[in-house]
Amino acid sequence: MTRPLNIGMIGYGFMGRAHSNAYHKVSNFFDLEYRPVLKAVCARNATNAQAFAERWGYESIETDWRKLLARKDIDAVDICTPNNLHKEIALAAAEAGKAILCEKPLAMNAAEGEEMCAAVEKAGVLNMVWYNYRRVPAVSLAKQLIDEGRLGRIFHYRAQFLQDWTISADVPQGGHATWRLDVDAAGSGVTGDLLAHCIDTAIWLNGSIADVNAMTETFVKERPHAETGKKQPVGIDDACAFLCHFENGSLGTFESTRYARGHKALYTFEINGEHASITWDLHDLHRLGYFDHRDDSLVRGWRTVHVTDHDMPYMKHWWVPGLQIGYEHSFVHQVADFLEGLAQGQPVSPTFRDALETQQVCDAVLKSAKKRTWMDVR
Amino acid sequence: MTRPLNIGMIGYGFMGRAHSNAYHKVSNFFDLEYRPVLKAVCARNATNAQAFAERWGYESIETDWRKLLARKDIDAVDICTPNNLHKEIALAAAEAGKAILCEKPLAMNAAEGEEMCAAVEKAGVLNMVWYNYRRVPAVSLAKQLIDEGRLGRIFHYRAQFLQDWTISADVPQGGHATWRLDVDAAGSGVTGDLLAHCIDTAIWLNGSIADVNAMTETFVKERPHAETGKKQPVGIDDACAFLCHFENGSLGTFESTRYARGHKALYTFEINGEHASITWDLHDLHRLGYFDHRDDSLVRGWRTVHVTDHDMPYMKHWWVPGLQIGYEHSFVHQVADFLEGLAQGQPVSPTFRDALETQQVCDAVLKSAKKRTWMDVR
Amino acid sequence: MTRPLNIGMIGYGFMGRAHSNAYHKVSNFFDLEYRPVLKAVCARNATNAQAFAERWGYESIETDWRKLLARKDIDAVDICTPNNLHKEIALAAAEAGKAILCEKPLAMNAAEGEEMCAAVEKAGVLNMVWYNYRRVPAVSLAKQLIDEGRLGRIFHYRAQFLQDWTISADVPQGGHATWRLDVDAAGSGVTGDLLAHCIDTAIWLNGSIADVNAMTETFVKERPHAETGKKQPVGIDDACAFLCHFENGSLGTFESTRYARGHKALYTFEINGEHASITWDLHDLHRLGYFDHRDDSLVRGWRTVHVTDHDMPYMKHWWVPGLQIGYEHSFVHQVADFLEGLAQGQPVSPTFRDALETQQVCDAVLKSAKKRTWMDVR
Amino acid sequence: MTRPLNIGMIGYGFMGRAHSNAYHKVSNFFDLEYRPVLKAVCARNATNAQAFAERWGYESIETDWRKLLARKDIDAVDICTPNNLHKEIALAAAEAGKAILCEKPLAMNAAEGEEMCAAVEKAGVLNMVWYNYRRVPAVSLAKQLIDEGRLGRIFHYRAQFLQDWTISADVPQGGHATWRLDVDAAGSGVTGDLLAHCIDTAIWLNGSIADVNAMTETFVKERPHAETGKKQPVGIDDACAFLCHFENGSLGTFESTRYARGHKALYTFEINGEHASITWDLHDLHRLGYFDHRDDSLVRGWRTVHVTDHDMPYMKHWWVPGLQIGYEHSFVHQVADFLEGLAQGQPVSPTFRDALETQQVCDAVLKSAKKRTWMDVR
């Protein structure tokens, strides 16, 4: 028989849906000791909380996250709020002895992240950050190929996260749907929202980043606030690009923007090694590009691996070869691994501390752009 | 408040999982009057039925489908058995006044299909066949574009369904996982299994097929039986290709095989019209190819539409632009439309009668191949 | 020192340019015993002939092909006329002892082709037909991979040649630029013009075709004549598709049309073997698709081979890896091989007899379509 | 009647072949007042010069470039030597009143380039640098689309030039074939060789670059010299990446390396504008990617324009729609434009002065990398 893990979710936006779906599906597709139970959802507005609870089957609601944390019937807290609340909630949740699943980026900055790490480590609670793209099967496969040494010495790492949804100056900042454009709620723009994903994957695949050299730009200088309609200066970075050195000697180039017309959520990366190279992009997330110089030269070329066979990471749990899964499945995989870590008493990556490193790179990137100089990450 | 629709599922294989997942998800993502309730699953073996019920949350099990049909607390029956049982179950279900969702192909042949149509129409029960690919958003979009007249007069329709999983002569026939290779359980090989999908989509998009001219082949002549291990002659078609005329004057070419090395489930179609053309394939099912000759010639070219924006069919129910969904979502969409039809008192396509037309084409194809001549469909 | 081969060209249209360019370039890029010398070009209209001669460096002109054949200073005759003149010229050229390079298709039909084969074989003159696509490096590579046995037993061969330039009913038939739409000049429509290429490649790569089953269509029934402007019935096939069996037991499906909106010259083929598969298309002719099931399953996928390295067929003669060549180079390669055959006293494929087999398939295809039945090729 | 332009070529390597081929072909395919005449080729080694002259039809040879410049029968000088000789030859050629076609990069550095510009402008001779990629039809089309304002305000420009041919430490430096790895002959590594192409195109398409911030790396620190076999320190940059601001306010990211396993000559660029975006890559140079946000949203997507129709830049001179040209044709187009400029008495871009701006960016890039700081270009 499976054991329940009672979930209390704070926040109910886009990520609240993605996580709730994952909690529902994981037990249908994975054989695990624990099963998530949707105990409570918390939102400031009771009507919204109630509607969300009904749709997703949460047993109860709260309107004050402190009350949620105080409940004995909650085992794990899922933090899906805007970034500016992550720290406060996480600290309280750690103190309450709850396991914590926190949306990315970990915090508003590395200093906050340090506090959060200290708190969960002191409390000894299981902790994880939702850098979900690690668990896209093609990305997990990339990790496996690199760890097997197939690429040899790495020379280059490239990543981009390109969107185009804020080109119009009419898109507001602040509020429920557009808090990511409000620097007070988000901490930064594309750096914390998009590049953080790229950096997390990069560190996971290619090791730590030593130093960075960045430029940022805010193309639209003023936007109306979603709630007041009043025009306010834009405090976030609309675009950010940086050069870096990895500690293994390879060179990195990273870029993110919300002004790349034609790209909705085009997260791409490419890794060039001595023997082999890898490419991936989020718009066709079920494929991995692979080139191996050791192939017979007559049939040497870029391969596109359709990552659907049962020997691919996570794929034996789904359908049959040739039938693709989508974006939401990465969250299911992350919940499955979280539950497995819980059962085994093992940490589940990315932990808060793993995510802190990404935060440190983000901080260095933003400082470098401001000072117009190279910055060491640590 | 939503109203329950009590589902009784017969069979628990691959399609049983796909449908069960759809019943679970539909209420999270769609706002509908009815919500599916997983009342019972039926399988001959009680242990298997019990395990499936626990995993998917069915409230009860049956081991005799007649008993399932006799239950008053079952509103709708989902037939997921091998093809040779479809008719008998459907006839009984119709008589019992149940709504029926039947896996494709409708029947072993058109004669059986006729009986089934007559039964559901006489009983006046809602009926639908699981030709799920119609509800892949890109395919639904193709339908919309054609119905808007964007392609103009149609000249050509091409479809393929290519797999490679039976190339080895060691793959058995019969049994739970490989009944599709046993002519007694399946009725035919790729024609009923794969081409039926192609034909259903083709008729939906391009209208009726007038006549066909086919060839079939069985590359591996003998296979062991999965249960006895005894080698037996193979009765199914391993590959089938046919030429046809549509009633609108366009030409069709269709091909399916399980011997196309490198393709797992490559269902593709292309439609060439006077003004515009469309392409689609199942290996990247979230994309639609589109070419419009009326474009400014300097920037005229094949477009690849990443079908994830909220104005695309079904997509407002899912994530945000750029984030793809997968195979399983086509079933969720079909359940959503079924529930909507139920609420509105409207038929939901493809009905049994719609599916009968596909069956008639399949019959004509198999006869044409046998007789080595053109065959009219009706 | 190189030896001259004096060329006399008959016709000066599109193919006249392609061949003339090849004669010019071959000596710059290949080291050969023979070098082509552009001795004379023949066209009925002296002004046109003169203009062509000046542009391409022909030393002289003729307006009567019989006079060209009578000249002692002509070693080889290149027949670039419409199809209805191939036979008469070839017979006379053979009798005059000239080497012959003849545009495809060989003749108006197989009976004419037989006469032509008999004539060149009796005369013992070197003879070749311009099925140039064999010498696209990626296609030559496909031949090499198949001959090495990499694909294993072949199950399927598929080819298409799709164009869209005759969709408008205003495109005329007959005349200099559109003789291909006039059945009297061309003999057939897409069958002889486009499918002939597909068939030539198929036989070369996969062996002889045993029987065929075809359908043809003429979508536009009347077109104005280019010279008179008078509307006349269209005698050619606008589209043709056929099923076939190869003698090695594999199945073939072929289709060609000039009504596939969006495709200019999309010649594609795909071969599925027991172990590996190959794809190619003319719109990216410098690439070959390759899938090998024997690859390590984690990195198994379709490869796209960028056929530009120096160990690829013909490529050491051109630029450096990564830099592509184009359509016209296939003709240069064919001239190079012709000159090499001349030096070695060896036949150069496709010979007239090789091309006769393609003609026989074309004849069978047209007969099958007319009679609505399977036809044996021989 | 056409007028001769007598060419004297200095150098006979890879670029000597590419240019010679262009001189040969241009008169066959373009109608121009001038026709190139291959008067003389100059190389230090008479045997090599003679062999080259015979293959390509040069009428005479020289072994001292000063003698070539002294000849009255030479109208134009084509400089195809390693970079360290460009200045000296160009200065002398200008003084001799010859038109000059110079291989890229213009010079070893901007100071040399300044001298060269001054010299040709003082002498009033027609001058051009072989940044040939501007005349790839798809790139010329990009220019046309941008100039028509289709993209609107530009936000981002990205370019890469990725190769993999120097990964092995056994590749030598210096000598005839590998002088590009010798800093004394080449001036720099990928910056002058590859990024110079990217920068030239970028300035042409998107205007001047204001400032840059670069990093360079030399992965292999020592290489044998091609002539002596002695190991020597490597002085060139193996890889270079830089960030920049264009004067129009857009952001640029550039990267080049010879350590990107799997890429032979992958020059790519992407431009993101307010309304539309463009992509191109050299490995499929006959295609242009285009996305226009103003398209009807249901069929909005990235288009791949197969740049072969007759209304595309330069394409009416070649074959028919669908049939691609290759790398070498960009040189033919550049010669055609040069001859047209000569006839019209107009400068032909990129002139020495145009190329000087690219040189200034290259200089700033190399200085920025050395000083680890942002550098203004001028």
Last residue of a domain, one of D132, D155, D181: D132
- Provide the CATH number for the domain around residue D91: 3.40.50.720
Residues of D whose CB is below 8 A from C12: none
Torsions phi, psi for A356 (to 5 deg): -65, -40
How many residues make up chain D in this entry? 378
- Token pair for D42: 């100059």
pLDDT digits (tens, 9 = 90+) for D16-55: 999 999 999 999 999 999 999 999 999 999 999 999 999 9
Chains contacting chain B through 3 or more C-beta pairs under 8 A: A, C, D
Q: How many CB pairs under 8 A join C and D?
A: 97
**Cis peptide bond prior to D105, omega within 30° of 0:** yes
A119 Cβ contact list (under 8 Å, min separation 6): A90, A91, A94, A95
For residue D299, which amino acid is it?
V
Give C225-279 pLDDT, tens digit per residue. Answer: 999 999 999 999 999 999 999 999 999 999 999 999 999 999 999 999 999 999 9
Spell out, as residue ranges, where chain D has pLDDT lower than 70. Answer: none
Per-residue pLDDT, C194 = 97
The pair of three-digit structure tokens given for residue D139, joined into one six-digit string:
């790139």
- Strand order of the β-sheet with D76-79 is D60-62, D34-42, D3-10, D76-79, D99-102, D127-129
Reported as a pLDDT band with limits 50, 70 and 90, residue B188 is very high
Rg from Cα positions in chain A:
21
Average pLDDT of the residues in C295-308: 98
Write the CB contacts of B166 (distance below 8 Å, at least 6 apart in sequence). Answer: B181, B220, B238, B258, B259
Q: What is the pLDDT of residue A378?
A: 87
Structure tokens at A7: 């979930």
pLDDT of residue B65: 98
CA distance D173 to D177: 9
Terminal Cα distance for chain C, rounded: 47
Q: Distance (Å, rounded) from C-alpha D115 to C-alpha A116?
A: 61
Q: Is the pTM of this model over 0.90?
A: yes
pLDDT, mean of residues C290-294: 98
Element (H, E) at A47: helix A46-56
Contact (CB, 8 A) for D201 and D355: no
Kindly state whether residues C71 and C182 are assigned to the same domain.
no
Spatial contact of A214 and A220, defined as CB atoms under 8 Å apart: no
Phi, psi of D321 (to 5 degrees): -50, 135
CA distance B284 to B163: 15
Question: Could you tell me the two tokens for D183?
Answer: 């800093």
Interface of C with D (CB under 8 A): 14, 18, 20-21, 24-25, 27-28, 55-56, 163, 165, 263-266, 282-287, 306, 308-309, 318-329
Bridge-based pairing state of the strands C154-162 and C251-257: parallel
pLDDT at position C296, please? Answer: 98
For chain B, the distance separating the N- and C-terminal CA atoms, rounded to the nearest angstrom, is 47
For D192-202, how does the pLDDT look when each residue is reduced to its tens digit (9 = 90+)? 999 999 999 99
Of C20, C27, C285, the CB nearest to D324: C285
- End-of-domain residue from the set C132, C153, C181: C132
Count how many domains chain C has.
2
Please check whether residue A114 is in contact with residue A363, taking contact to mean a CB–CB distance below 8 angstroms: no
Instruction: Tabulate helix, strand, coil % of chain B (nearest 5).
Output: 40, 25, 35
| Spatial distance between the Cα atoms of C17 and C80, rounded to a whole number of angstroms | 10
CB contact set of B165 (below 8 Å; sequence gap of 6+): A321, B171, B258, B264
- Whether C378 has a pLDDT exceeding 90, the answer reads no
Helix (H) or strand (E) holding D60: strand D60-62
What is the rounded average pLDDT for all residues in chain C?
97
- Cβ atoms of A38 and A71 closer than 8 Å: no
* Chain B residues inside the 8 Å CB shell of C293: 164, 261-262
**Spatial contact of A194 and A267, defined as CB atoms under 8 Å apart:** yes
Torsion of CA C4, C10, C14, C16, to 10 degrees: 10
* Residues of chain A contacting residue C299, judged by C-beta atoms under 8 Å apart: 145, 150, 290, 292, 303, 305
Tens-digit pLDDT profile for residues A204-226: 999 999 999 999 999 999 999 99
Q: Which of A271, A292, A298, A302 is the mutation pick for testing C, counting most C CBs within 10 A?
A: A298
The angle formed by the CA atoms of residues C314, C319 and C323, to the nearest 5 degrees, is: 100
Contact C253 B241 (CB under 8 A): yes
* Whether residue A101 sits in one domain with residue A138: no
Q: Which residues are CB-contacts of C282 (< 8 A; sequence separation ≥ 6)?
A: C133, C136, C265, C266, C267, C268, C327, D322, D323
Of A130, A161, A196, the position where a domain reaches its end is A130
Residues 6+ apart with CB under 8 A from B296: none
Query: Do C343 and C237 reside in the same domain of the chain?
Result: yes
Q: Supply the CATH number for residue A165's domain.
A: 3.30.360.10
CB count within 10 Å of CB C370 equals 11
Q: Are residues D163 and D104 in the same domain?
A: no
Query: How large is the average pLDDT for residues A328-335?
Result: 98
Count of beta carbons in the 10 Å neighbourhood of residue D33: 13
C115 and C140 together in one domain: no
Residues C112 and C145 occupy one common structural domain: no
pLDDT of res. A102: 98
> Which pLDDT belongs to residue A67?
98
Q: Write the CA distances from C168 to B174, B248, B287, integer angstroms.
A: 53, 19, 30
Q: Which pLDDT band, with edges at 50, 70 and 90, does C335 fall under?
A: very high
Residue C307 above 80 pLDDT?
A: yes
CA distance D339 to D336: 5
Q: Which of the four pLDDT bands, split at 50, 70 and 90, describes residue C320?
A: very high
For residue C143, the chain A residues in CB contact (below 8 A) are none
pLDDT for the residue C38: 98
Same structural domain for residues D219 and D259? yes
Do both A44 and A188 map to the same domain? no
Clarify whether residues D311 and D199 are in a common domain: yes
3-state secondary structure of C41: strand
CA distance to B291, B309, D134, D294, per residue, from D276 (Å): 18, 18, 20, 8
φ/ψ of B244, rounded to 5, equals: -155, 165
| List of chain C residues whose C-beta atoms are within 8 Å of the C-beta of residue B274 | 167, 261
End-to-end CA gap in chain A: 47
The DSSP annotation for A172-239 comes to: -BBTTTBGGG-HHHHSSSHIIIIIHHHHHHHHHHH--EEEEEEEEE-S--EEEBTTT--EEE--S-SE
Q: What is the pLDDT of residues B323-361, one digit of tens each?
A: 999 999 999 999 999 999 999 999 999 999 999 999 999
CB contact under 8 A, C141 and A298: yes
Query: Does pLDDT of A1 surpass 80?
Result: no
Q: Is the peptide bond before C321 cis (omega within 30 degrees of 0)?
A: no
DSSP states of D88-142: HHHHHHHHTT-EEEEPSSSSSSHHHHHHHHHHHHHHT--EEE--GGGGSHHHHHH
Cross-strand bridge partners of residue B256: B161, B240
Q: Does C57 share its domain with C146?
A: no
Chains B & C: contacts with CB separation below 8 Å = 110
Asked whether the beta carbons of B282 and B266 are under 8 A apart, the reply is yes
CA atoms of B180 and B188, how far apart (whole Å): 8
Query: What is the DSSP secondary structure assignment for residue B103, as one 8-state letter?
Result: P
Confidence of residue B21 (pLDDT cuts 50, 70, 90): very high
- Three-state DSSP at A253 gives strand
Domain identity same for C116 and C160: no
- Chain A residues with CB inside 8 Å of C301's CB? 287-288, 290, 303-306
Q: Is B321 exposed, middle or buried (0-12, 13-18, 19+ CB in 10 A)?
A: middle
- Kindly determine whether residue B274 and residue C261, on different chains, have CB atoms separated by under 8 Å: yes
Mean pLDDT value across residues A15-29:
97
Helices (H), D164-257: 183-186, 190, 196-206
Residues C147, C256: one domain? yes
Contact C230, C238 (CB under 8 A): no
Contact assignment for D324 to C323 by CB distance below 8 Å: no
Q: Do strands D209-217 and D239-246 pair parallel, antiparallel, or not at all (unpaired)?
A: antiparallel
Q: What is the pLDDT of residue C294?
A: 98
pLDDT for res A175: 87
Range of the domain at D353: 135-376
> What residues of chain B lie within 8 A of the CB of A282, using their CB?
322-323
For B88-139, what is each residue's pLDDT tens digit?
999 999 999 999 999 999 999 999 999 999 999 999 999 999 999 999 999 9
Residue D255: closest CA among chain A residues belongs to which residue? Answer: A253
Which residue is listed with tokens 């043809």?
C216
Residue B2 has pLDDT above 80, yes or no: yes
Do D144 and B298 count as a contact with CB atoms less than 8 A apart? yes
Query: Is residue B23 a contact partner of residue B335, using CB atoms and an 8 Å limit?
Result: yes
DSSP 8-state assignment for residue C172? -
Are the Cβ atoms of B155 and C219 closer than 8 angstroms? yes
- Give Cα C360 to chain centroid, integer Å: 15
